[in-house]
Amino acid sequence: MTQSNDKKDLLSGSIPRHLWRLTLPMAWGVGVIISFQLIDMYFIGQISSDALAAVSFTFPITYALLTVSIGFGVAMSSNVSRLVGEKEIEKVCRVVTQGIALSFLCVSAVVFVLWLGYESLFKMMGVNDALIGYIHDYIPLICLSVPLVAIPMVANSAMRAEGDAVTPALIMTVAAFANCVLDPILIFGYLGAPEMGVEGAALATVIANMLALFSGLYIITERKKRFKVKCLMACHEFKDTLRRMLTIALPVSVASLILPLTNSIIIALLSGISVEAVAAFGIASRVEAFAFIILMALSTSMAPIIGQNLGAKQFDRVREVLKVAISYNIIWSLFVAIVLAVAGGMIAGAFTDDAQIIRVAQLFFWIVPVSYALSNLLNGWMSAFNAMGKPKQSFIMMIGKYILLLIPAIYIGNMWGAVGIFVAMAIVNVVSGVVVHIYSWRACPK
């Protein structure tokens, strides 16, 4: 095949070059989004340890609320990239337009249902009376922000599926910058604003997500010409869009719910040990997410390359993408493990001066990171199968690791306290990583 002069043509040219071209802006974008929570954690930690622990309790719930948007984003990327590979551009516009509308409606419905029962969920997680007031201030506004972020999240996935990773990164940067500026103003009452505490952190997130919504919708409509109102009127084709989107979005969303469910159980077990253990896990999980921005970006960026080449039936390039991505994963995971083992206590100390919280966080950084190289293989393979339009395999992987292995393991590990839980997590990461990789390499297209 003659190499295209268009740098966004993912059907030809160097695979490593395409991966880095898509991964670097995506890494920047993911980094600024994760900074939402890191910045919130930093400023909320200045309020009190109770406020920090209370917001840590909300992480599984807020992630659960985002899973529907994540599912639709994955479905959009998979469908658009394969349609681009098949040269079906008219179908791309229809799927983008109807898919964005569908995602907003579904996300709003799920958020409403979960919002009605959030207080019962937190009581089941072991939240005590000292923390519930902070949660009441934080959760309602966060629930409001989730439907707002659905539109730019799905629109960004459509742009990346066609090879543009820079524009989505810029949209996320605008939102993150707004959150960073507004957090101290609204939390502590600077510049004449009322002092709102954790409620201010939530309001800052709402405003930032509104900026992302308007930016993303404008670009996908006016610049990319992919969101077309006339496509909303094509009711006779909506059934096809519904099938394309839900076939992937439903299993991905349900699978994504497994992770916050598992984290809720971990937090519930840690709450039986101490509030400090919960706060430490909250810090460790945020730092862990930040450390793997590159790999998160890599798994997202390889999806459009896999999808387009699968649509064009260039299976050799699909396997080359996987080989390169696996190599990068192992190198970066080992690097992160060393850094966290050496500097984990210092990193935790940036969020709090509570010695007990720092000590438990340091234990996490000594134990769990040794399993990262194998654990992260699962995330990469899940992204690959979703890009191929095979979400069933990803769903089975999530069930196997988290439901069949991790939940029983952490209950056993809980007999030895926080250390036992962390050791159980590391063992399951290793076992599941090895099994998933062996199966997946044999199952990918040849």
pLDDT tens-digit readout, 68-80: 888 899 999 999 9
Most distant pair of Cα atoms in the chain: their distance: 67
Question: Is the distance from CB of 208 to CB of 36 less than 8 angstroms?
Answer: yes
Predicted pLDDT of residue 402: 92
181 inside domain? yes
Rounded Cα–Cα distance for residues 230 and 54 (Å): 46
Helix axes 166-188, 198-218, angle to 10 degrees: 150
Whether pTM > 0.85 for this model: the answer is no
3 inside domain? no
Predicted pLDDT of residue 6: 47
Report how far Cα 191 is from the mean position of its chain's Cα atoms.
Answer: 33
The pLDDT of 33-57, averaged and rounded, is 78
376 inside domain? yes
187 inside domain? yes
Q: How confident is the model at residue 408 (pLDDT cuts 50, 70, 90)?
A: very high
Q: How confident is the model at residue 210 (pLDDT cuts 50, 70, 90)?
A: very high
Rounded Cα–Cα distance for residues 235 and 249 (Å): 20
As a 3-state breakdown, the chain gives helix, strand, coil percent values, each rounded to 5, of 85, 0, 15
What average pLDDT is seen over the chain? 86
378 inside domain? yes
pLDDT tens profile 330-346 = 999 999 999 999 998 89
Rounded Cα–Cα distance for residues 44 and 47 (Å): 5
| pLDDT reading at 296 higher than 60 | yes
| pLDDT reading at 3 higher than 70 | no
8 inside domain? no
How many domains in the chain? Answer: 1
Q: Which of 178, 159, 158 is nearest to 167 (CA)?
A: 159
| pLDDT reading at 415 higher than 70 | yes
Residue numbers of the domain that contains 59: 15-443
Mention every residue, 6+ apart, whose C-beta is less than 8 A from residue 308: 10, 11, 81, 82, 84, 85, 161
2 inside domain? no
The residue count of the chain comes to 446
In the chain, what percentage of residues exceed pLDDT 70? 97
10 inside domain? no
